[in-house]
Amino acid sequence: MPVPTCIRILLLLVAATTLPSCGTTRSVNPELDQKLPPRILWAWERKEDLRFLDPKRFGVAFLAQTLKLNTSNVSLVPRRQPLEVAPGSFMIAVTRIETDKRKEARPILDADQRRRMIELIKQTLELPDVKAIQIDFDAGVSERRFYRDLMNSLRSELPADIPLTMTALASWCAGDNWFSDLPVDEAIPMAFVMGADSERVKEFLAKGNDWREPLCRGSYGFAVDEPIDAPLKSGRRIYFFKSSAWVEEDLARLK
């Protein structure tokens, strides 16, 4: 029996740093334009009063919880800081995932941990006005298979009308297509705090290039404290991050 092409590629690239996807390449869900506001603020773990936002123009992606993985454990760190928004705001519950990097405490990433995580993520739908779920996980190469299994299982258990999105390192969107087949409605390229990839990604965008990963071609993620001078593709959602609490005067900076 002939060996499928994708399997042959995997066998040839066993020493590679990333595993190519053998699944169907996905693109941004076009229905998101009717569901999500064009501008979304990330509200991280701090006291936030966002009642000055116009719900017709802005949504809020708020850190709802952090799940910390070590050995066989999943530790829940819920949001502890108050968050106030205008009535009718479109709320996206963000779950941040962090794995212990110490050799003796590295998570085993098994089915039990995945099941526990899915239950905790689903519970964020019970928070007020939550209409979408977002996962924030800077998965290392050895963690990507687990991440894929997690997202496939999570999508199958979420209501069909609930958008599932993910954050993505800008370097992933510029060339590392390991997540092309994940069942998400979009991946938001985080073009900030890019570390060693910063200059390369900034140059990539400054030349007018578009993200190579199709799932990344529906939005941009920027930090108001780290502006990027680059031509942007029109008609895309923009997520904004700020390392301190948002104030109404920040809205002028978003332009």
Full pLDDT tens readout for the chain, 255 residues? 443 444 333 333 333 334 445 557 789 999 999 999 999 999 999 999 999 999 999 999 999 999 999 999 999 999 999 999 999 999 999 999 999 999 999 999 999 999 999 999 999 999 999 999 999 999 999 999 999 999 999 999 999 999 999 999 999 999 887 999 999 999 999 988 878 788 888 898 989 999 999 999 999 999 998 888 888 899 999 999 999 999 999 999 887
d(CA 19, CA 74): 26
Give DSSP secondary structure letters for the chain. -PPPHHHHHHHHTTTSSSPPP-S------TTHHHHS-SEEEEE-SS-EEETTS-TTTEEEEEEEEEEEEETTEEEEEE--S-EEE-TT-EEEEEEEEEE--SGGG-----HHHHHHHHHHHHHGGGSTTEEEEEEE----GGGHHHHHHHHHHHHHHS-TTS-EEEEEEHHHHHH--TTTT---SEEEEE-SS-GGGHHHHHHHHHTTPPPSSGGGTTEEEEETTS----PPPTT-EEEEE-SS---TTHHHHT-
Give me the pLDDT at residue 196, please.
77
* Angle of helix 111-123 versus helix 144-157 axis, rounded to 10: 50
d(CA 61, CA 221): 12
Residue 151 lies in a domain: yes
d(CA 127, CA 28): 26
d(CA 6, CA 12): 10
Residue 7 lies in a domain: no
Residue 168 lies in a domain: yes
Residue 148 lies in a domain: yes
Structural domain including 159 reads 26-247
The 10s digit of each residue's pLDDT in 7-37 is 333 333 333 334 445 557 789 999 999 999 9
d(CA 237, CA 118): 27
Residue 2 lies in a domain: no
Residue 134 lies in a domain: yes
CATH of the domain at 61: 3.20.20.80
Give me the pLDDT at residue 22, please.
53
Residue 252 lies in a domain: no
Give me the pLDDT at residue 82, please.
97
pTM for this structure? Answer: 0.89
Number of domains forming the structure of the chain:
1
Give me the pLDDT at residue 152, please.
98
Q: Using the structure block, give the residue that is written with the tokens 């199709």.
A: 214
Residue 11 lies in a domain: no
